Structure 1
């Protein structure tokens, strides 16, 4: 068994939540799980407790609140009372308090909040801060698919999250990268307090990964596979200390664990970001 590596979190989005995956993760030294109240048709917490309740104490567990069951699917809400109740329910369903609870995609509701956006965000964050203070979770954070909606709302009234999770990697896009950097500066977050997600922009089987070779970011050391190189680049786009990755295959997870010793050329990363920004500027004219 490898030593525990905190830089990889096993994400359960679209996962089948099979016990074999969790035992395989532990064998690889991956001891962090990330899920959400709405994963697996709003059954993720219950299924985890039923199929792997004895394994959960071996993991640090993060989850997310913000989506709620509704006729025909799900609805998003930043109502403080609903968020607080969701954290309570998460702890009950998991059979333990989560180590970290994220406010899930707050931009979903903030789009409709108009001039009251900062007030709505402040109250939502305060609800998670209060839940943490009551011991319902060890810490709270914000997970945002489109962080650009948050940049103009951060001020002294908005509580500081312990962790920020944003899209990361070669396909994240300059708008997302710049917004993530702005939030990191506004909250004075260390890279260890920032997580990346969706490092492959969906799947390693997407056609784009057959057309490009991410090993150019490794400089002269190209011993890693294309998938491994893309994964390592995600730690620098933006600068994060942890990457959450979803898979149902322990072998794929093992490939990513095997990439952690790889070194990425920071100069090439900066050149790539400059190219993204130049391309974005050209598209405006």
Structure 2
């Protein structure tokens, strides 16, 4: 069994929630898992508690609230009472207090202008802060797929999360990268308090990974595969202290752990970001 490494979080977004994956993760030293109330058709918490309730205390488990089951699918809400009730429900169904509860994609409900958006975001954050104070979770955070709508909404009245989770990796556009940096700076969060997610954009089998060689972004990537190099580079796009990555194969997880031995070339990473910015200027749409 390997020593625990806090830089990798096992994401369960597309996972089949199999027990062997969790035991395999523990054997590899991956002791953080991330899910959400709406994963697995709103059954993720229930399934985890049923098939691995004895394992959950061995993990730092994070989950998310913000989506609610509705006729025909799901709806998003930042209404404080619904959010607080969702945190209570998460702790009850899981049978343990989550390590972190994230406010899930608040940008989906921030379309009523800056003043109303600032008020909604502040109240939602305050609700999760209250739930943490009442012992329903160890800490709270914000997870955002597109943080751009949050820019300019954070001020001195907005509670400060312990963790901010954003998209990371080579498939993230410069607008999202810059927005993630700006929002983290608005809250005064350092790199260790920022998590990345979806470093492969959903699949390592996408054609794009056959067309690019991310090893050019590492100081010495000769010993790593393209997938491993893409994963390692994602820690700098944007700068994050941990990455949530999904898989149903412990062997894939082991390969990603091995990728952490690689060293990013910060100059090459900056040149890559400059290229993205230049491309946006030439093609703004």
TM-score normalised according to structure 2 size? 0.98
State the shift of 1:188 in Å. 1.2
- Contact 1:113–1:120, Cα closer than 8 Å, also in 2: no
Q: 2-side partners of 1:197 and 1:221: how far apart?
A: 22
Q: 2-side partners of 1:4 and 1:69: how far apart?
A: 35
**Can you give the 5+ residue segments of structure 1 that lack an aligned partner in the other structure?**
none
Which residue of 1 is the match for residue 212 of structure 2? 212
Which residue of 2 is the match for residue 139 of structure 1? 139
Deviations 1:122-149 (A, max 9, x none): 0000000000000000100000000001
Which residue of 1 is the match for residue 34 of structure 2? 34
Q: 2-side partners of 1:235 and 1:221: how far apart?
A: 15
Which residue of 2 is the match for residue 231 of structure 1? 231
Which residue of 2 is the match for residue 250 of structure 1? 250
User: 2:259 is paired with a residue of what secondary structure?
Assistant: coil
Which residue of 2 is the match for residue 117 of structure 1? 117
**Can you give the 5+ residue segments of structure 2 that lack an aligned partner in the other structure?**
none
State the shift of 1:112 in Å. 4.1
State the shift of 1:115 in Å. 3.6
Which residue of 1 is the match for residue 65 of structure 2? 65
Deviations 1:97-132 (A, max 9, x none): 001000000000112466400000000000000000
Which residue of 2 is the match for residue 165 of structure 1? 165
Q: What CA RMSD, in Å, does the superposition of the two structures yield over aligned residues?
A: 1.0
Which residue of 2 is the match for residue 12 of structure 1? 12
2:163 is equivalent to residue 182 of structure 1: no
2:16 is equivalent to residue 21 of structure 1: no
User: 2:165 is paired with a residue of what secondary structure?
Assistant: strand
State the shift of 1:202 in Å. 1.5
Q: Which runs of 4+ in 1 moved over 6 A?
A: none
Deviations 1:188-232 (A, max 9, x none): 111110000010111100000001111111134421110000000
- Contact 2:3–2:29, Cα closer than 8 Å, also in 1: yes
Which residue of 1 is the match for residue 44 of structure 2? 44
Q: 2-side partners of 1:237 and 1:278: how far apart?
A: 16
Q: 2-side partners of 1:154 and 1:77: how far apart?
A: 19
Q: 2-side partners of 1:24 and 1:256: how far apart?
A: 14
Q: 2-side partners of 1:57 and 1:284: how far apart?
A: 48
TM-score normalised according to structure 1 size? 0.98
Q: 1-side partners of 2:219 and 2:137: how far apart?
A: 42
Higher mean C-alpha displacement, 81-90 vs 179-188: 179-188
User: 2:68 is paired with a residue of what secondary structure?
Assistant: strand
